[in-house]
Amino acid sequence: MTTTAIVTGAARGIGATVARRLASDGLAVAVIDLDEAACKPVVEQIEAAGGRAIAIGADVSDEAAVDAAVERVVAELGAPTVLVNNAGVIRDNLLFRMSADDWDIVMNVHLRGSFLMSRAAQKYMTAAGFGRIVNLSSTSALGNRGQANYSAAKAGLQGFTKTLALELGKFGVTVNAIAPGFIETEMTAATAERMGVSFEDFKAAAAAQIPVARTGVPDDIAHAVAFFAGRDAGFVSGQVLYVAGGPTT
């Protein structure tokens, strides 16, 4: 029986790589992002490699949209037993410049979105007696200048992860979080551009501070997701794995 996975924020970057990896591991994958059309290239890549996938456009912070998306996954791919809450946005600014809208949109996508997706998917997991929820946190959860909103949201996801692990464990559902460090994505490239430096210089400066002497790539995160999503990780739950090239403080 094919296991069905949902990956949010999967049109590009880490989410797209995670979706392709889970598909290569034999899962059917629902590729969810705001724009359904933007998800289709990822679906086509998965199908070209022999996998099964569908593209779904949904705002994860919208309760009705989330419920409709999960119902569509059930109808077209089967009941989901793996959920990767990866959807995210940044609205970086120093506190005194940060608007209430900057705060709210980051909280809504990261926290409300993960809550809504997890609530909608968990009933299928508990019914199956098996489930895997993986939440994408960040090293920014430890504090990062100019990211009061993002840091708070990512720290909140860690508490959310641990609580769901306590609630869902007896039903065969594990819940874990991955906290990436510097990962080469369109988002980090945009940060470099906003700072007025080249992406290569930005990466080099970051790598100089990382013990393994390189920046991360989306595959580094996909490998960790694949571990947590697998049946062999059934005794690992409520954990936060920092994938950052070294120890974090």
Of the listed 103, 115, 124, 150, which one is catalytic?
150
Of 144, 117, 91, 100, the C-alpha closest to 7 is: 117
124 counts as catalytic: no
Neighbouring CB atoms inside 10 A of 40's CB total 16
CA angle 201, 9, 99 (to 5 degrees): 70
Retrieve residue 71's tokens: 């119902």
* Alpha-carbon span 186 to 1, nearest angstrom: 35
Retrieve residue 163's tokens: 């609580």
| Half-sphere exposure (Cβ direction) of 159: Cα atoms closer than 13 Å | 9
H or E stretch including 75?
A: helix 63-76
Q: The dihedral of CA 114, 89, 230, 240: what is its sign?
A: negative
CB 240 within 8 A of CB 207: no
Q: At 169, is the secondary structure helix, strand, or coil? A: helix
H or E stretch including 206?
A: helix 199-207
Nearest 5°: phi and psi at 54? -135, 155
Q: What residues act catalytically?
A: 150
